[in-house]
Structures are given as structure tokens and as C-alpha cells.
Amino acid sequence: MKIAVLGAGKVGSAIAKDLAQEAAFSVTVIDFDQRALDRLKAEARLSCLQSDLRKRENISQLVSEVDIVVCAVHGFMVFETLKQIIEAGKDVVDISFFAEDPFLLDELAKSKGVTVVVDCGVAPGLCNILAGYVFDQFDQTDRYACYVGGLPQLRLKPFEYKVVFSLPDVLEEYTRPARLVENGREVVRPALSEVELMDFPGVGTLEAFNTDGLRSMRNTLNIPFMVEKTLRYPGHAGLMRIFRESRFFDTSPIEVEGQMVSPLALTAKLLSDQWRLAEGETDFTVMEVVLEGQKNGKRLRHSYYLLDSFDSETQTTSMARTTGYTCSIVVRQLLRKLFTQKGICPPEFLGRTKGCYEDLLAGYEKRNIRIKETILEL
């Protein structure tokens, strides 16, 4: 089977290396960064191709001979990239957040007879699969909450944070209004709002604040209360609110000494070195997903707890592991015809498909990613 991986960043590389372990797979990684490609080629049995993926006309030719595509490009590129992949008639699994509504491509995908799994990382991604699975176990689901974050093991002032995925996407989380569900209706809260302190086993106290992470579940799962919150070390949200209110995250250019400058682009440039994980620096991913509902006349709470750490043996960040391996496992599910639904398919569709949930957990276990499930009667 021929697989194209678009993007050789931290997560794209983890996906490619995981897929390349299968003797039956021929993996080609495509990126503009030749240094990243050279590094990847030295680490795994795969092919590399340098190309500018920002040029839409390149996409259809690049994927014309493959069986399935992994999309791991920057968020601002994703919608048009997916459109070109679908036009080429190829199944695709995407890990990247993008602002556009993916269901705008649903009719096109169905007309081409292709499966497009979007938002297939850890959150969104894994949390959606868990939600879809439990949703079908309950007679009625009343509440969903997800608390998730990727953080450095070493806390260094003033930020106590390092980037474990795309920096522009991280900063956008701090400005994009958070869409939640209360009493069955969508409500909007400012990002970084409603901060609460929470304790997590093996981690300690973190702060949780509103971000716009529910994505498709707001519309695909009928749950009257739904929220997702991002986790950081205490104090981070307040600091980021200062940045935001001081307009450092604005996208509209301003004039500075005769030059037009985007405050967000300048902020990202200044933070890129301070927020970059150093070589060998360790990170961890923590996530708790909670669903409450009714089953056989009883009120139950299903909780899932994930705590994953940097893999020192493979030098793979935890965020790359939890995001990338979710994607690579789902790619295998599509190739094995375990999941065959056509059109735009958010991950909760996989959670509601027989066998996908169990297969995903088995794949995690194989990769030493463990999720603890707790079921309580309320």
C-alpha cells in the first residue's frame, strides 16, 4: 500500500516513522524543508520528496499514485489541501486544526467516493472517539467534558510553557472564541476564560480554561452540556490575557517606523525560540475525558485518564506520539476496511463504528500509551 504523508514536522514525522515499520507499506513524506526530510530519511525506511505544498496545483500530482494520504500541514493550508486530495479521489486522514467547516467538503467527498477523517489527533481526535463510543453505550448522554494539555516537564519562568505543536495554532487558541454547549444550546465564551484549578494524578495542580476545541461534536452528538478546556501550569492564562488585551495577538498589520507589521507574526517570531523544546527536552500530555449519562435506569460517569511522556528511546515528544499514533492507527483502520464510511468523518464517527474503539486502544497499548477507564454509579 502506498501512503503519502504531507508534512515533515514533529507530528508528521512521528506518523511517517510509525507507518514505515509496516513491511506492507510504502511511505513517502513530502515537505518543503529539505533538512527535515534528510533527517527523517536517515531514521526510517521511507522515501522523501521536496515540494511546496502551499501551491495547490502540486497536490493532485503528488498524491496521484498513492492509496491513502495523511495531511499534517499548517492549519491555514488544510482546507484547500484537503479539497485537492478529495478532487484526486484519495482517502485522507488529517490531524491539523483549521478554521473552516469541514462539512463544506462533504458533498464533494461523497461524490468522489472517498473517506475523509478530519481532526484525527489527540484533542480533537482521541477525545472524540471516546465520546462517540460512550455516547452509544448510554441510553441518554447528559454531559461531556474534556481537559487536555501538552506541557514541558521542566517549568521555566516566565511562561512555563513550550510549544509541542504548531506555534500559530497555539496562539490562535488564545484568541478564537470558545463555543460550548449549555442546556442544549451553543454558547460562546472568550478564550482563556473561566479558569479553574484542577489536580491530576502524577502531575499535580494545573489550570483549565476555555478554548474552542469541541469542533464537530457540537453538532454530531446530542449532549446538552459540552465543554473542552486547555490545561497549563497555573498563571499561564492570565499572562496570555495580558498579551491578547495588549494586542500582541492581533492579525491586522500596524505601522512601525514606516513598515507594516503584523503583531501576531512578530509575537510568534519572538516567542518561537523561547517556546521551542530544546533537543532532548521532555514533555508530557495529560487528558481527562468525562461523560455522564443514563443506562438501564442508572446514572453513570465514564472517565478516561491519559498521562503520556516523552519517549527517550525514539526521541519522540509525547504530543507527537499521542497525536501522530492516533492518526497512524486510523490510517490502518481505513486500509483494513475496518472503517468505510464515505464523506467527511470526524473521529466520533469512528467511536460509533463497531471495532474501531477497541482497535484504537489495542494500538495505543502496543505503543505504550495507556488510558485508564473508570466507571462510577452516581
Q: SS3 for 3?
A: strand
Closest CA to 219 of 93, 82, 334, 349: 349
**Cα 61 from chain centre:** 27
Rounded Cα distance between 174 and 230, Å, is 10
The amino acid present at 120, given as its one-letter code, is C
Whole-model pTM: value is 0.95
Return the CATH architecture of domain 2-121+319-369: 3-Layer(aba) Sandwich (3.40)
Contact 119, 94 (CB under 8 A): yes
Per-residue pLDDT of the chain (378 residues; tens, 9 = 90+): 999 999 999 899 999 999 999 999 999 999 999 999 999 999 999 999 999 998 878 898 999 999 999 999 988 899 999 999 999 999 999 998 888 999 999 999 999 999 999 999 999 999 999 999 999 999 999 999 999 999 999 999 999 999 877 788 889 899 999 999 999 999 999 999 999 999 999 999 999 999 999 999 999 999 999 999 999 999 999 999 999 999 999 999 999 999 999 999 999 999 998 999 888 899 999 999 999 999 999 999 999 999 999 999 988 999 999 999 999 999 999 999 999 999 999 999 999 999 999 999 999 999 999 999 999 999
| Residue burial 347-368, b: 16+ Cβ < 10 Å; e: rest | bbbbbbbeebbebbbebbeebe
The amino acid present at 10, given as its one-letter code, is K
- In the chain, residues under CATH classification 3.30.360.10 are 126-309
The DSSP secondary structure of 273-317, one letter per residue, reads HHTBPPTT--EEEEEEEEEEEEETTEEEEEEEEEEEE-BTTTTB-
Domain 126-309 CATH assignment equals 3.40.50.300: no
- In the chain, residues under CATH classification 3.40.50.720 are 2-121+319-369
pLDDT at position 97, please?
A: 83
